[in-house]
Amino acid sequence: MNPHTLKARAYIAHWQVTQDGQALVMTRADWMIRVEFNGSAPTRALIRKPGSPEWRHLDRRAITTHVRGHGEQMSMFRIGDPVKVGPRYGTVADMYVETPTAQTSRACPVKLVVAYADGETFTPYATSAQPCRDAELQPVILFD
């Protein structure tokens, strides 16, 4: 995908787009995607997710999927947030935008990676998790 097409798609999906030399930097809901180009060909893509200070490699085939990510779902959680999924409490360890299928809408859904205290992980959709306060994660001990 050339930088002009990517820039147009990002604007349509309500990303803020800036140019940094030969790179496009897209920002939305604390997500940042940096795509470096050599002419019209992307050479490297990096992503920084909300709550994470580090940049990670983003497969070039996943750039469009992330640009099409569901805006409201992308802004629901940050890495490190305490959440409740069903009856269990955990912490958001990671999140990603799911690759679209014929059954997903044009805006790609966001999935979380939730880590539980027992070491188990689960990958619910962002819409299946509820934010919770840190106090809800602490066991309550009642004394007479």
The answer to whether residues 58 and 95 belong to one domain is no
> What is the count of structural domains for the chain?
2
Domain boundary among 38, 67, 96: 67
Which of 92-96, 103-107, 116-120 bottoms out in mean pLDDT, i.e. has the lowest? 103-107
What's the confidence (pLDDT) of residue 106?
Answer: 73
Contact (Cβ atoms closer than 8 angstroms) between residue 71 and residue 14:
yes
Does the residue 22 lie in any domain? yes
Q: How confident is the model at residue 142 (pLDDT cuts 50, 70, 90)?
A: very low
The answer to whether residues 16 and 58 belong to one domain is yes
Beta strand 41-48 with 31-38 is: antiparallel
Query: Residue 35 carries which side chain, given as an amino acid letter?
Result: V
CATH number of the domain residue 126 falls in? 2.30.30
* Whole-angstrom distance, CA of residue 27 vs CA of residue 15: 6
H-run or E-run covering 35: strand 31-38
pTM of the model: 0.85
The answer to whether residues 60 and 88 belong to one domain is no
The answer to whether residues 61 and 11 belong to one domain is yes
- For 106, the domain range is 73-136
Tens of pLDDT along 97-116? 998 766 655 788 999 999 99
Burial class (CB in 10 A: 0-12, 13-18, 19+), 138: exposed
Tens of pLDDT along 40-50? 999 999 999 99
Mean per-residue pLDDT of the chain: 89
The answer to whether residues 61 and 26 belong to one domain is yes
What is the DSSP annotation of 39-80?
TTEEEEEEEE-TT--S-EE--GGGHHHHHTB-HHHHTS--TT
